Each structure stands twice: as structure tokens, then as C-alpha cells.
Structure 1
Amino acid sequence: MTIQKEPTRTGTIMVQRSRSAGRVLIQSGTIVALILLILFFFAMRPDTFLSFVNIRNILYQISILAIIAGAQTIVMVVGDFDLSVGATSSLAGAVTSVMLLGENSMPIAILAGLAVGLLVGLVNGVLIAYLHLSAFIATLATMTSVIGLAYIVTGGTTVFGMPPEFNELGQGKFLNVPLPVYFAVAISVLIWALLRFTTLGRRLHAIGGNEEVARLSGVNVRWARLLAFTMAGFISAIGGILLAARLGSAAAEQGGDNTLFSVAAVFLGMTVIRSGAANLGGTMIGVAIIGVMSNGLNILGVNAYVQQVVTGIIIILAVVLSGLKTKER
């Protein structure tokens, strides 16, 4: 009997170790992927990739995406997603730019752009939380309408010629680091603190974990969901205004790519923690992966269309890994 039990026990231990290794791989796969990307591009371009100038360029490139992805994280914490964040950022940047060209003061123009983001987020929240539309349908419809409004605002052209003090917000530097990087860090810290330490943050996580349990626990689910989408719209507007300042121009769809990139970043980040839930820290790792990949491929001279294919594959892998984490829960 002892001879028969020993192989069974050994086999069980091996299976358990295999499962543990699988969990560790899923748990740390995103971080490992980031490290491997950095090592690969460094090996390919050791004289360029990890230079101060290039690291600064990466941070500069991902700063707007980090803000938009932060907005997306808030919505995905409650179990939804927002397809309109990129369009909202474009409209906010366009409204701000057009108002500046109309000789309005910079504070008034920026407030108008922020108000646009707030309004779009509020509309999304009402449609989803109170009229019970699916997040996909509601934000897809909002995205389409907002893009149309952006074309109306810009007249279908690229708007440029904003005052230098506005462009300074996106092009200026402090301690040789671009200002948008500081904005991205500050906004990310605020979102992290909101989700981790506030009552609202705990309620948002509770809704994302189990909406019915959260409701039975006394959480006003509709109000919390409304706030999540409203905050996402407002934060997206900040990103759009900074993007217009960085480019020195505004166009109807110049922030459109950030929608899919933000979703990909959040899905990548969901694999970082054991619960498999959306989290700001993980999202920033996802943003870093996208930024490093894009920058590295550019340095290697890879065609932009190939980069789109690679990005699509990353999104698929992110969703698959996120699904595995959800099953693990």
C-alpha cells in the first residue's frame, strides 16, 4: 500500500506545483512582458533605447494615454467600459482651441472644454445607470455623436494658431521633463487615491465585484455608476485639452486611438493583481507596455501598419489573460 500511495502523493504535489507555477505566470506575466520588451529593445538599440532622451520621449508619448486610461479604469472598476473617452477628449480639445481662437481667455476656454467632458460623461451615466442601456450601446452611440460634434466645432478642418501660453501646457518643460508627464502623474495619483482610500472608491469596487450584493449592502448603485462615467468624461477632457496643447492643433478625431489603447491598458493591468479587477497601478503598467512597444518599434523602423497588427495581438492577449484571472477567482 505504501508503494502505491507514494506515486499518487508525488503526482498530486507535481500537479499542485504546476498549477501554482501557472498562477504565478498569469499573475506576473504582464510585468515580465514589460521587462522583456525593455530588454529586447535595449539589446537591439543599446545606444539609444535607454538613454535619458528616449526615456523622456516615452514618458511624453504615453502621458496623454495614461490620463485617458485612468479615466477608463474608473469605469471598468464598476464592470463597464467607455468607448467614448477618445472622442470626448477630441471634442474637449477642439472646443478649447476654437474658443481660444475666438479671443476668449485661456481659463474660460479650458473650463468650456472641461464642461464638455463633464456633460458627455453625465449623458453616458444617465443612459447606463438610469435608462439601463448597455455600456457598449450607450457609449458607442455617444462616441458617434461626439465625433460628429467635433467635426461641427472644427468645421472639418485642423484648428491651429492657439496662443503660445496654451501650447506651453503641452510643450513646456520643468526640470527638462515635459509638463504633460507631471499632469499624468498627478492625475494618476489622484485616481489611485480615490479608488483605494475613499468611500466612493470602495463602493465602485463593490459594484464591480457583485452589483446585487453591493445594492443589498446599501450602495446606491445608480448614483455611483453615474459618478464613474461623469468622472471619466471629465478626466478624458483634461487629456484632450493637453493633447491639443501638445500638438499645437486640434482635429475631430485626433484622440480616437486612445480609446482602444486605454481598454487594452486596463485589461493588461487586470492581470497584475490576484483578484483580476481593474486597478490603476496595473493600468499604468499596461500603458508602459504600449508605450515601450510603440517607441521601440519606431526606433527599429517598423512600419506603422505592422504596429497596428501588434497592438491588436496585445489586446487579444490582454483579454485572454484577464479572462483566465476571472476564472481563477
Structure 2
Amino acid sequence: MTATPTRNPGIEDTSAGVLAVPRRSLGQRALSGGTVLALVALVLFFFAMRPDVFLTFTNVRNILYQVSILAIIAVAQTVVMVVGDFDLSVAATSSLSGSVAGALLTAGQSVTVAVLAAVAVGLAIGLVNGLLVAYLNLSAFVATLASMTSIVGAAYLVTQGTTLFNFPAGFTQLGQGRLLNIPMPVYLAVLIALVAWAVLRFTTIGRSWYAIGGNVEVARLSGISVRRSRLLAFTVAGLVAGIGGILLAARLGSSSAVQGSDNLMFSVAAVFLGMTVIRSGAANLGGTVIGVAIIGVMSNGLNILGVNSYVQQVVTGIIIIAAVTLSSLKTRSR
């Protein structure tokens, strides 16, 4: 007697007898497209409210300029979250790097020396974070929280608790200069994002990072050096965050210990929003860019409408909660 094959209710039979992957539900499709739709809805809403201002070239350029540094910090956060970790120190790292550059410039050092030293600071912080997490097996949350506290203290020591300014024009041009009427930080943010995307998409280390983020044990059994890969992810994040701090100091023409501290929560929100864009629910550069765009459009639109800054803080908190919730729902629906 021939046994009748059991049929999985979640799988449909095709006419050729081949099992087909079930179609996603409407709710799953909404989760995937919701972030993009939210961005479109925000743009249409603010354009309807202020059509004379919002989508003008000047204002679009301002939005890009405002989010350029955040985009760089979000790239750093994305790299770490791809491997399933978390870095609370990226914003503090950018502040310290900017402070080191500012301190050296005010002490009479050249722009080249100041920039290289600031980059080295970011690289060193990322390396220390990676060693703590990958080789000492500390929780990424605890390790980077501790390093964030130390980094902020170091930034206060470097700046002596003051705001440093009067930087040479060669340095401020990095953040204030323009090419084809577009600010330089915008070009640099795009370049960094493209390089990071290419690394994640086309290189062995990028695939290793995604494998580790998907399942550490499977990645280890596949021959991936998990510790080395996690160390490299944190190191790259520190380097990128340091570059972001240099550009922020150059853009503002000043540096301080708390400069850009809001970029931590904004970068986290951007990455979580971006995780809902793709079906796997993993951190990804394309989604992060969309998340950054949502935050930039929202902030700019609320400012144009004259919304109180305290209300903006409330809205930001709600967005972060929504981002984490959507990301959680996306993970469950896989």
C-alpha cells in the first residue's frame, strides 16, 4: 500500500506537483513596505503643509546637510548590528575624535596631523570595544556603555570642559565647503555609505558578519573566525564614528565633549527602522539610509512648522519605540 504524503498546510502544491513557498500575508507585506511608505507619507504631509518651502532645492539641500553626520554614525551602528551586537559608544567616539582634532588645531598643529590623530582615536576605541566584546566575552551593551562613560570623560579632559573654536579654514572646509552647491559632508556621507554597502554586499567579511548575526554557532561551525570578525566590526565602527566626529567639528567650526550626543539614539532608531525594509529583518545599509531620511524629513518638517523642540523630543521617542516594535514584529514574522 502506497503511503499518502503528508501535506504541510503552510505550503501550496503547484500543478506540476512541486511545493511552492507560501505567499506572505498582507500584514507581512505591510511590515516590509511600511517604512518606505512612512517616508513618502512624511514628505507628502510636509509638502502639503508648506508647499512654498519644503521641497525647494535649498530646503532639500539643508535636509541632506543636517543628516549627513547622522548617516555616517548610523553606518557605524549598522556594521556592529549586522553581527548581532550593539555599540552605545559611537556618538561619544565621534565627540572625542572631534575634540582631539579641535585641541590639536588650537594648539597649532597642522590640519593633517589633527585629522590623522582624530581618526586614530576612533580606530583605537573601536579596537578596544572589539577586544572587550569578542575576546573577553563581555556583553556588547555593558562593554560599550562603560566605554561610552570613559570616552565622554576623556572628551571633557581634552577640551577642559570648554568649547574649542577658531579652527583654520583648511579644516572647516571639510564641513562647510561646497561642490556644485552641495555641502562636502553630503558627498562624504554618500561615499562612506557606498563603501560600507559594497563591503557588506560583495566581500567575504561582509558575508561573515551577516552569518554571525544570523546564527553565531552555525557561523563558527562553517569555519568563520567569529572573534576576529566581531573585532573587525567594532574597529570599523570606531573608525567611521571618528570620521563623523571630525566632519561635525569642521561643520560647526567648534568641538565640545557633548557634541552630537543625540546621534546615538537617532542612529539606533535609523537602523531599527531600516531592519523592517528587507524580508530577513536584518540590519542593512539601504534600510538604514531610509531610516535616516525619515528622521531628517521629520525634524526638518517640524522645524518648518514651528513645532516646539520639546514636542520634537516626544515624537523622537515615539519613533524609536515604533522602530523597535516594528523590528521585533518583523523578526517574529520570518
TM-score, normalised to structure 2's length? Answer: 0.93
- Rounded to whole Å, the distance in 2 between the matches of 1:140 and 1:322 is 22
- Rounded to whole Å, the distance in 2 between the matches of 1:164 and 1:316 is 41
1:251 to 238, 252, 256: 256
RMSD, aligned α-carbons: 1.2
The Cα of 1:19 is off from its aligned counterpart by 6.3
- Letter of the aligned partner of 1:310 in structure 2? V
- Rounded to whole Å, the distance in 2 between the matches of 1:169 and 1:102 is 19
Aligned to 2:9: none
1:79 to 62, 84, 89: 84
1:221 is the counterpart of 2:226: yes
1:159 is the counterpart of 2:168: no
Per-residue CA deviation, residues 153-193 of structure 1 (Å, 9 max, x unaligned), is 00000000110110011001000000000000000000000
The Cα of 1:42 is off from its aligned counterpart by 0.2
- Rounded to whole Å, the distance in 1 between the matches of 2:200 and 2:234 is 14
The Cα of 1:316 is off from its aligned counterpart by 0.5
1:90 is the counterpart of 2:95: yes
2:52 to 38, 47, 50: 47
Counterparts of 1:108-127 in structure 2 under 5 Å?
Answer: 108-127=113-132
Per-residue CA deviation, residues 185-238 of structure 1 (Å, 9 max, x unaligned), is 000000000000000000000000000000000000000000000000000000
Aligned to 2:111: 106
Aligned to 1:302: 307
Aligned to 1:24: 29
- Rounded to whole Å, the distance in 1 between the matches of 2:95 and 2:301 is 26
Per-residue CA deviation, residues 245-292 of structure 1 (Å, 9 max, x unaligned), is 000000101121101100100000000000000000000000000000
1:317 is the counterpart of 2:316: no
Question: Equivalent residue of 2:274, what SS?
Answer: helix
1:35 is the counterpart of 2:40: yes
The Cα of 1:26 is off from its aligned counterpart by 0.4
Aligned to 2:174: 169
- Rounded to whole Å, the distance in 1 between the matches of 2:219 and 2:307 is 48
Per-residue CA deviation, residues 44-96 of structure 1 (Å, 9 max, x unaligned), is 00000000000000000000000000000000000011000000000000001
The Cα of 1:327 is off from its aligned counterpart by 0.6
Aligned to 1:146: 151
The Cα of 1:18 is off from its aligned counterpart by 11
Percent identical pairs in the alignment equals: 70
- Letter of the aligned partner of 1:167 in structure 2? T
List runs of 5+ in structure 1 lacking aligned partners. 1-16
Aligned to 1:13: none
1:137 is the counterpart of 2:142: yes
Matched residues, number: 314
- Rounded to whole Å, the distance in 2 between the matches of 1:75 and 1:43 is 38
- Rounded to whole Å, the distance in 1 between the matches of 2:244 and 2:87 is 15
- Rounded to whole Å, the distance in 2 between the matches of 1:253 and 1:115 is 20
Question: Equivalent residue of 2:167, what SS?
Answer: coil
The Cα of 1:309 is off from its aligned counterpart by 0.6
Aligned to 2:293: 288
- Rounded to whole Å, the distance in 1 between the matches of 2:23 and 2:296 is 33
List runs of 5+ in structure 2 lacking aligned partners. 1-21
1:265 is the counterpart of 2:258: no
- Letter of the aligned partner of 1:245 in structure 2? A
The Cα of 1:21 is off from its aligned counterpart by 1.0
1:198 is the counterpart of 2:189: no
- Letter of the aligned partner of 1:170 in structure 2? G
